Structure 1
Amino acid sequence: MNMNKIKSLLLVLPFLIAGCKSSETESVLKADDFKHYADYFNRMEDENIAKAVPNDSAWSWMKANIPLFECPQDNFEEMYYFRWWSLRKHITDTPEGYAITEFLVDRSYADKYNLIACALGHHIYEFRWAHDPKYIEQNVHVWYRGNEGKPMGKLHKFSSWTADALYNMYLVNKDENYLLDMYPDMVSDYAAWENERQTPNGLFWQHDVKDGMEESLSGGRHVQNMRPTINSYMYANAKALSTMAKMKGDSEQSVYFDKKAKTLKGLVETKLWNTDHEFFETLTEKDTSSQVREAIGFIPWYFNLPSENKGFEVAWEQVKDEGGFLAPYGLTTAERRHPRFRTHGTGTCEWDGAVWPFASAQTLTAMANLLNNYKQEVVGKGDYFNHMNLYVESQYHRGRPYIGEYLDEVTGYWLMGDRERSYYYNHSTFNDLMITGLVGLRPRADENIEVNPLIPEDQWDWFCLDNVLYHGDIITILWDKTGEKYHKGQGLKVFRNGKEVASSSKLEKVISE
């Protein structure tokens, strides 16, 4: 047997072992009880675009790959399965391996195989919960090695937090070999971004369109502004590279990237923080604040960048303010009180205030980090649940589950909802938010299991997340207020391979020993 075959076996070994554990462990939820969702979604359409996993194979793919979830609020449960069902539509078989698309229809500005790099970080965060790692791992290989061994030509068409996403995927699957195999690619990628986009003051600039956020209030398609997006991404990538280098035993490189991260952290906190608006805002080419609060100002918390106890948390007051980002159908991309809010018209991918799931997913991930990793009293579990509820409610079009490009913040109407290009738009996360935010499984490097549900205790009497492949084990998390739903006892329970490892009578954070 050659070394490539041995390596391939080693990469899938955790998946094979987990499959054995799953079959041997008595599950709380039964997969076939949820098959009706896939059957319904299949009936919603005449499938005219079929890729590697067509509709007639959707349920078999889901049954083999996804964690199971149930709760008493029907739309949450339906949307959970819809987002898995729609996600697998984007798995594409290429000569270089599996790849993940953003649009199902071909786009003229895409790279080979109709790939677009804008949401690569979202794809990694979402697919890290699929049991079989080959889909996302091969997708990353296509992006970084699929162009005759080199990165794809349009990889840097959009800003990226790939190194961070890969490390966070490692926190779920613990595949150190894959992570460190990608390390040299990530080092080269970081250097390329420094060469292309770093300014003399140390911050990075980006056109708003190449952040995937064109027609914004703070920028433009051709201006070189220093945005919270790319600077937060580069901070997170440097942090991830520092950790990877340490894992490799390269202390010099670990310190090197740690210094870069610390420098960017300081620059974001001092240069991008608008003390008058109490918000992280875009810095213009003229080194002045853009003077507009946009949802990208929450992105630093996506990566736990802001220092605690320095007053930055006050920015989150804006997610509760109807003059800020709170709208009937979700989180707007710019503050509603701004005089130029929603002034760019519609149908041109404007980020001047309409609700974009891409940004909503980033903000909700950031909010979950705030609630888990910061001591603050600005927002609570109720705020997170309310925004998740809005996110769920927004993902319907003509009465059916739907995920598209962007929507009107007041009516909920999808602004490109009747264009085929917008159907099943793979440009955001949802199930990662359900797993790590709402249910609260917080991935970590050690073998302790941390769960902190962001659900108010009086909201649901029961819920269960089952068949989660985590560190090679099968994890079950359930809440049963009375003990009569699952017959496992009252309260919050966490199981590893069927064995209870943590519990509480309250819906609160627990950590296994």
Structure 2
Amino acid sequence: MTAPRPPEPEFARLLGLVPEGAGADPWYRANVPLFACADPVLERLYYYRAWVMRKHITFHADLGISLISEFDSPEQLYWAGARNTIVCASDHHINEARWLADPRPAREHLRFLLTDPGAQPRNYASALGASALGIAEVTGDVAPATALLEALIANHEGWRAGRTDYPHDNGFDPERGLYWNTGCDSSGEYNLASAQLNEPLRGIQGYKIRGGAGYRPDINADMYADLDAIARIADAAGRRDVATTYRAEADALRARAHAALWDAERGFYMHRWRRDEYADGDRHGAPSIRAGSFLWQTNALTRGVGHQPEADGRGRGRELTGLMPWYRGMAPDTEETAAAWQTLFDPEIFDAPFGPTTAERGDPWFSVQFDCRANGNAFPLQIARVLNGLARMLATHRHTGGMDAAAYRRLFMRYVALQHRDGVPYLGEFHHPFEDRWVVDRPIGSHYFHSSFIDLVITGLLGLRPGLGDDLVLNPLMEEALPFFSISGLGYHGHDIALSWDSEGARLGLRGFCVFIDGTLRHHADRPGRVTLALS
């Protein structure tokens, strides 16, 4: 029995969903796993996102490599690195591209970020070690990652050394055992830390955009993932000394970050300020923000702009990036921490029809504005990471905070609805969390490649959990309410994988949940569910 595959006319119709039309057929046919499902909106968006990815992969003939861009700009952007590369969303770029049949764009882009002198791999928080490992977990070939081991080590040592030449403000604090940076450098301009600051008193232009530096959940989660991935790559390279050192550092960071950044009162990972800062309403020489305090504790010594004493309770200080520890595998598997995920569907915190919001709705500095602001707007970059983290928790943790496949699909379909404009698939930069419109939609940011989607379909909805082992591990989160889905041509560890679900058998000709490896039916069940299969 062979894997069900839509007939050629159906293949052509699906490829016709991309803006280029069927004329782009050869590239998609050769590279993109074929996906079909009972939801035409989801199906169409899948192929639109394949088009967005292809649109941002550019072959540089003089270098002989392909690189992945974030903006669609023929001119060099002043805030970008060489060849308009921006490390900010590199995790999303590589997560998407690793599923192409040709893995070279993902590998070449990562190598460029790590080895080209102008690539600026630490201008924004990232975990390039985790990206290198992520490619290997899909292809099954760890050699390209081990070849980059020294570059990965050098990159992480650069993070440890840090930079404090404004606008850069990041590094490792050996006394606290934590990393710090600004919210902007973790992809969030005008975050809740920024919103509190008084730029004139600080005396640095643009300071309010970036936010004062802090020991943040997102940068520490990124650094944990980088340390852990380097240790695992070093294991594969036979470098036991490196593996032992980096694994110990990862474990120590995980413990320190939880002890320092987990706020038991609010049940969430929070930003702690690195230094004293001026808040709106302060006087020169009398900063009200104290080093080491949580966001919800600051600007309380004065009655500055936006300060609301009655809001000093639980409704302050949470940012969506507080869920990053799950995305990066840093959060402990406990009932207490897992309860943090309930905030996603709490209307007083992050819940929104086109959300979640980037900051909690009860905070006095929460705001939805037509600008690149992470203190209220819905941000695809962060939402994709949250979805990835939720799928990871559901697959690997015993405690899930009441979250399940239905909760994942609920959040995922909000993400689907967000990625439209006038009923047509579209990506801008920031979306209004409560209304069907983009609040940041510049020409340079049209079809903005700043998030992932195909990777979320594969690893979340369909549940393929990549790893270095010789097994195929599935934890599908597609609810049975969807009558059918099918994906074929999915390359994994050198094998051809196909998955299908047909509740009645009428659409695909094969009833139930089926897993095919290299064209052979290896698993057949009445409904989608967790399963582990040997690849060989």
Question: What stretches of structure 2 of length at least 5 have no aligned partner?
Answer: 163-170, 195-207, 275-290, 297-316
Which residue in the other structure is 2:160 paired with? 194
Distance 1:382 1:111 in 2: 40
Q: Provide the rounded CA distance (Å) in 2 between the counterparts of 1:33 and 1:483.
A: 17
What's the CA shift string for 1:217-236, capped at 9, x where partnerless?
A: 03451522111111001101
Amino acid at match of 1:233: D
Q: 2:314: which partner in 1?
A: none
Comparing 58-67 with 358-367, which one deviates more in the overlay?
58-67
Q: Distance in 2 between matches of 1:27 and 1:379?
A: 32
Question: What amino acid sits opposite 2:523 in the alignment?
Answer: A
> What SS is found at the alignment partner of 1:494?
strand
Query: Is 1:450 the counterpart of 2:424 in the alignment?
Result: no
Q: Quote the sequence identity (%).
A: 28
Q: Higher mean Cα deviation, 438-447 or 479-488? A: 479-488
Equivalent in 353, 375, 398 of residue 328 of structure 1: 353
Give distance in 2, aligned partners of 1:57 and 1:189.
41
Q: Alignment partner for residue 289 of structure 1, among 275, 291, 294?
A: 294
What letter corresponds to residue 500 of structure 1 in structure 2?
Answer: L
Task: Specify the SS of the correspondent of 2:431.
Answer: coil
Check the 8 A contact 1:38/1:82 in 2, yes or no. no
Mapped contact 1:300–1:306 kept (Cα < 8 A): yes
2:190 pairs with one of 195, 206, 215 = 215
Whether 1:234 aligns to 2:258 is no
- Provide the rounded CA distance (Å) in 1 between the counterparts of 2:17 and 2:121: 36
Equivalent in the alignment of 1:42: 19
Between 176-185 and 103-112, the greater mean CA deviation after superposition = 103-112
Specify the alignment match of 1:103 in structure 2: 71
For 1:511 and 1:31, the matched residues in 2 are separated by 31
Q: Structure 2 matches for 1:245-256, cutoff 5 A?
A: 245-256=234-245
Query: How many residues align structurally?
Result: 470
Report the CA distance between 1:69 and its aligned residue.
Answer: 0.7
Deviations 1:354-373 (A, max 9, x none): 10000000000001011111
Following the alignment from structure 2 to structure 1, what is the Cα–Cα distance between the partners of residues 149 and 430? 34
Task: Provide the rounded CA distance (Å) in 2 between the counterparts of 1:462 and 1:243.
Answer: 37
SS in structure 1 of the partner of residue 439 of structure 2 = coil
CA contact (8 A) 1:38 1:85 kept: no
**Which of residues 492, 495, 499 is equivalent to 1:477?**
499
Out of 466-475 and 248-257, give the one that drifted further: 248-257
Alignment of 1:93-492 (within 5 A): 93-94=59-60, 95-96=62-63, 97-105=65-73, 106=75, 107-147=77-117, 152-196=118-162, 197-200=171-174, 201-219=176-194, 220=208, 221-285=210-274, 286-291=291-296, 292-309=317-334, 311-342=336-367, 345-347=369-371, 349-376=372-399, 377-417=401-441, 419-457=442-480, 459-488=481-510, 490-492=511-513
- Residue correspondence of structure 1 range 1-80 to structure 2 within 5 A: 28-30=5-7, 33-42=10-19, 58-80=24-46
Q: Is the 8 A contact 1:31 1:68 kept in 2?
A: no
- Please report the RMSD computed on the Cα atoms of aligned residues, expressed in angstroms: 1.8
After superposition, give the CA deviation of every residue in 1:50-93 in whole Å (9 maximum; x if it has no partner).
xxxxx886332111101111111111100001000111001112
- The Cα shift of 1:174 comes to 1.2
**Partner Cα distance (1:390, 1:153) in 2:** 34
In the alignment, is the contact (CA less than 8 A) between 1:58 and 1:88 conserved in 2? no
Supply the distance in 2 between the matched residues of 1:102 and 1:172 (Cα, whole angstroms): 23
> What is the distance in 2 between the residues matched to 1:456 and 1:307?
27
What do residues 425-458 of structure 1 show as CA deviations (whole Å, max 9, x unaligned)?
111000100000001111122222111111222x
More displaced stretch, 275-284 vs 92-101: 92-101
1:90-137 deviations in Å (ceiling 9; x for gaps): 111222221100001242221221211111111111111000011111
Matched residue SS, 2:381: helix
TM-score under structure 1 length normalisation: 0.88
CA contact (8 A) 2:221 2:330 kept: yes
Q: Could you say which residue in structure 2 is the equivalent of 1:496?
A: 517
> 2:530 is matched with which residue: 482, 506, 509?
509
Q: Distance in 1 between matches of 2:14 and 2:5?
A: 19
1:454 alignment partner AA = L
1:251-285: CA deviation from partner (whole Å, max 9, x where unpaired): 22111001111011011111110111100011112
Q: Deviations over 1:318-353 (max 9, x none)?
A: 01111111101121111112121116x422x11011
What do residues 436-483 of structure 1 show as CA deviations (whole Å, max 9, x unaligned)?
0001111122222111111222x1121111110001111001112123
> Aligned equivalents of 2:260 and 2:358: distance in 1?
21
Instruction: Give the TM-score taking structure 2 as reference length.
Output: 0.84
Change (3 A) 1:30 1:447: farther
